[in-house]
Amino acid sequence: MRPILMKGHERPLTFLRYNRDGDLLFSCAKDHTPTLWYADNGERLGTYRGHNGAVWCCDISRDSSRLITGSADQTVKLWDVKSGKPYFTFKFGSPARSVDFAVGDKLAVITSDPFMERTSAIHVKRIAEDPEDQVADSVLVLQSPEGRMRINRAVWGPLNQTIVSGGEDAVIRIWDAETGKLLKESNEEDGHKKPITSLSKSADDSHFITGSLDKTAKLWDMRTLTLIKTYTSNVPVNAVSISPLLDHVVIGGGQDASAVTTTDHRAGKFEAKFYDKILQEEIGGVKGHFGPINALAFNPDGRSFSSGGEDGYVRLHHFDSDYFNIRI
């Protein structure tokens, strides 16, 4: 597979997201400008200017008309995808770490970091049909039980009934999206032993995968929070994604950037590793980044994937025919 190298960011990548149709790819980085690319050839379409801090995450509405981004500048912005202009800004008193549109795009879940006096929290915001009607009020605010521990990711469960969150305290929690009641949390036996860095859902919302600094990725049932599978890596995991087409998961990471300078990139183990979802066996890896991988995403058609690294590059890979015939 020959990767397409996309250089549009000055700083390390933080997040990648394809739109529903799989023809557009949005990238976020520690520079202040989320960037939009064509997903087939890696051509840059444009950038979204307006944030004053690292952009940690983004999500895109079903019809690809709106983009939501969360940033270290303590704001979450709603953008018109076509014009590139922000039309609304939610202000928080602390950095916004994670954003996720609900099914139907009428709600968004946002997590804010602990900062000064504030604890980590999950906010649910209503997203208005007409930008003119947009208001800043939260429908629901959930305070994290471990207030000083950051929540790294929160996503919607099936049919918007629940919210699933994970973060620095290594516990995965499922909340009722209407009442804010805590429904389930992962136990110490099954759960991660170190901070959860990433969380990604399957295409049908029935299960999700988490990656952690404890060098594992775990597959969970979305409704019951039962541990299904565990994938073991030899480096801390920063990014995870589930293939929508085959029974494959991809995980990426690498040791901390501070430990990297003394080793060459081969020893740094900066590769995206593919595992068989059922058998938990490693089936292959894609090398190329010169630093830890911070972001991974499968195209919704399952025929390509992209990775973003500490090196500031987005690498776009279209699978060749051999990939679809892998037999274990």
Q: Spell out a b/e string for 272-311, using b for 16 or more CB atoms within 10 Å of the CB, else e.
A: bbbbbbeeeeeeeebebbebbbbbbbbbbebbbbbbbbbb
Average pLDDT of the residues in 250-273:
71
pLDDT score, position 261: 55
pLDDT score, position 256: 64
Kindly report which listed range (97-106, 131-140, 191-200, 265-274) carries the lowest average pLDDT score: 265-274
pLDDT score, position 146: 76
CA dist., res. 223 & res. 221, Å (int): 6
Q: Binning pLDDT at 50, 70 and 90, where does residue 260 land?
A: low
Phi (first) and psi of residue 266, to 5 degrees? -70, -40
Fold of 3-324: Methylamine Dehydrogenase; Chain H (2.130.10)
What lies within 8 Å, CB to CB, of 317 at 6+ separation is 1, 3, 4, 286, 304, 305, 306, 307
Average pLDDT of the residues in 136-149:
90
Average pLDDT of the residues in 213-222:
97
Q: Binning pLDDT at 50, 70 and 90, where does residue 257 land?
A: low
CA dist., res. 154 & res. 200, Å (int): 10
Average pLDDT of the residues in 246-251:
97
Provide the 3-class DSSP secondary structure of residue 321. helix
CA dist., res. 57 & res. 38, Å (int): 19
CA dist., res. 167 & res. 171, Å (int): 7
Residue 284 and residue 299 in contact, taking contact as beta carbons nearer than 8 Å = no
CA dist., res. 190 & res. 228, Å (int): 10
Average pLDDT of the residues in 63-92:
97
Mean pLDDT of the chain: 94
Residue 265 has pLDDT above 80, yes or no: no
pLDDT score, position 148: 86
Q: Spell out a b/e string for 160-190, using b for 16 or more CB atoms within 10 Å of the CB, else e.
A: bebbbbbbbbbbbbbbebeeeeebebbeeee
Residue 196 and residue 167 in contact, taking contact as beta carbons nearer than 8 Å = yes
Phi (first) and psi of residue 132, to 5 degrees? -65, -30
pLDDT score, position 327: 79
Q: Binning pLDDT at 50, 70 and 90, where does residue 162 land?
A: very high
Average pLDDT of the residues in 54-70:
97
In sign, the C-alpha dihedral spanning 218, 59, 122, 195 is: positive
Mind spelling out the 3-state secondary structure of 98-139? EEEECCCCCEEEEEECCECCECCEEEEEECCCCHHHCCCCEE
Percent share of the chain, pLDDT over 90:
90
Q: How many helices (H) and strands (E) does the chain have?
A: 1, 28
Provide the 3-class DSSP secondary structure of residue 323. helix
- 79-110 pLDDT, tens per residue? 999 999 999 999 999 999 999 999 999 999 99
Residue 44 and residue 6 in contact, taking contact as beta carbons nearer than 8 Å = yes
Distance from the Cα of residue 107 to its chain's centroid: 18
Average pLDDT of the residues in 286-311:
95
Residue 259 has pLDDT above 70, yes or no: no
Percent share of the chain, pLDDT over 70:
96
Structure tokens at 245: 């087409």
DSSP 123-192: EEEE--SSGGG----EEEEEE-SSTTSPEEEEEE-GGGSEEEEEETT---EEEETTT--EEEE--TTTS-
pLDDT score, position 268: 55
CA dist., res. 220 & res. 243, Å (int): 15
DSSP category for residue 258: G
